[in-house]
């Protein structure tokens, strides 16, 4: 990561457990596609267990990503984009789990209460990544 504060911004991606516990966090440039950042997010998790399902918003609705995650036995559950050209790959049954996505949004909200995460003041991305990890640790410790 060789970018500073002069870019378009920073994207903070978080992998959470079923109850909203942060398991992984990555920092990337805001102009990168989220589809390319999903796999590094899964690789940098703190648990050894692979997730069974991945709930995400329509930003990662991609057939190659679905196929790649299926090879790792991970089911991608996300609504299809409205402008999708190909036929739908999932019916409505897995999308019933999508209503629990509020837990992920709640965790993001908990992280954004930390001032250093809400507004990035650091020039170097590794410092911002460290503060993001520290904020995740604070969220986990508040759960005890």
Where does 35-124 have alpha helices with state H? 38-43, 63-71, 92-95, 102-112, 115-118
CA angle at 61 for the pair 100 and 79, rounded to the nearest 5°: 40
- Tally the domains of the chain: 1
Assess if residue 76 is contained within a domain. yes
pLDDT tens for the chain, 144 residues long, are 445 555 567 888 888 888 888 888 988 888 888 888 888 888 888 888 888 888 888 888 888 888 888 888 988 888 777 777 777 677 677 777 777 888 888 888 888 888 888 888 888 888 999 999 999 898 888 876
Assess if residue 120 is contained within a domain. yes
Assess if residue 4 is contained within a domain. no
Assess if residue 51 is contained within a domain. yes
Assess if residue 91 is contained within a domain. yes
Tell me the CATH number at 31.
3.30.420
Task: Look at residues 18, 23, 27, 4 and name the one whose alpha carbon lies nearest to residue 140.
Answer: 23
The range of the structural domain enclosing residue 78 comes to 10-142
Assess if residue 121 is contained within a domain. yes
How far apart CA 89 and CA 99 sit, in angstroms, is 19
Assess if residue 74 is contained within a domain. yes
Assess if residue 94 is contained within a domain. yes
Tell the burial category of 93 from Cβ atoms under 10 Å away from its Cβ (0-12, 13-18, 19+): exposed
């Amino acid at each position: 990561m060789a970018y500073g504060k002069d870019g378009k911004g920073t994207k903070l991606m978080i992998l959470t457990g079923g109850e909203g516990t942060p398991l992984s966090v990555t920092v990337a440039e805001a102009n990168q596609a989220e589809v390319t950042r999903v796999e590094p997010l899964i690789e940098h998790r703190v648990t050894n267990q692979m997730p069974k399902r991945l709930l995400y918003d329509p930003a990662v609705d991609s057939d190659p990503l679905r196929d790649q995650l299926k090879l790792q036995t991970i089911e991608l559950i996300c609504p299809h984009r409205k402008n999708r050209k190909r036929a739908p790959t999932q019916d409505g049954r897995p999308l019933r789990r999508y209503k629990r996505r509020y837990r992920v949004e709640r965790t993001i909200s908990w992280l954004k209460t930390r001032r250093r995460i809400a507004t990035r003041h650091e020039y170097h991305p590794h410092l911002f990544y460290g503060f993001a990890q520290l904020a995740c640790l604070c969220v986990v410790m508040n759960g005890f």
